[in-house]
Amino acid sequence: MIAVKPVFNLLFGKQNWLFSFEDKLLKVMSSVPCTDMVRAILMENGVLCEELT
């Protein structure tokens, strides 16, 4: 998460995303759809993910 932290802070703001290491969950608050962008950023950094609905 260290690699993506600056990008997520820039895109969403420091208070609008949270990663729980214990649960291995990333929560992003956004007023526009951002699933594909978040997935691409994580995959570029070697993190496999899926959206929970």
What distance in Å separates the CA atoms of residue 42 and residue 8, rounded to the nearest whole number? 10
pLDDT of residue 53: 83
2-52 residue pLDDT tens: 999 999 999 999 999 999 999 999 999 999 999 999 999 999 999 999 999
The separation between CA 28 and the C-alpha centre of its own chain, rounded to angstroms, equals 6
What distance in Å separates the CA atoms of residue 35 and residue 26, rounded to the nearest whole number? 11
Six token digits for residue 35: 């699933």
The values of phi and psi at residue 49, to 5°, are -150, 165
Q: What is the reported pTM?
A: 0.86
